[in-house]
Amino acid sequence: MLGNNSTAGHSDAPAEIGFAMGCFWGVQRLFDSLEQVVLTTVGYMGGTLPSPTYEQVCRGQSGHAETIWVTYRGDVAELITVFFENHDPTQGDRQGNDIGSQYRSMIFPTTQAQATCAAKLAERYATALSARGFGPITTEIATVGAHRFWPAEQWHQKYLEKNPGGYCPVHATGVCLA
């Protein structure tokens, strides 16, 4: 789960990718509902502090974003589509009322094929979002292998399963590529 996986694109072998798209509790529930997803873990990526805590991330002391680490089988384009269609990739350091760099939009590919697919889909969504009056996409596609995934504390894992009334909405724009 913490290392790179050389599997790219479409394959029956499991592959891994990270997504930051706001509060990780709702994102985990979303990705857990997908048939091709084998495993999800919530945690932190994109910062400089090793082994950050939730408090450090929330205070902006680590530079990390709340991230869902996904192990999956199949076509990564389907997961990246779910990513773009289930949050607002134009909001910068926020999603709805959740404000701060820990809520920024990022993709953490583990292969160059994933990074290429993410960049192509980002271009397509940028065009579609612009046509609907949204600003430019602020999603960062990280350099392959540039960031380590740090699992969040155990109480965050499957949080909304343990706390069905928990707050963590998805902030979709309604823009889809049909």
Q: Which residues are catalytic?
A: 23
Using a 10 angstrom Cβ sphere, with 0-12 exposed, 13-18 middle and 19 or more buried, the burial of residue 111 is buried
Measured CA to CA in angstroms, residue 109 lies from 6, 18, 116 at distances of 10, 6, 9
Q: Are 107 and 18 in contact (CB under 8 A)?
A: yes
Partners of 58 in beta bridges: none
Give dist(CA 62, CA 131) in Å, integer.
36
Q: Is the dihedral of CA 129, 172, 74, 140 positive or negative?
A: positive
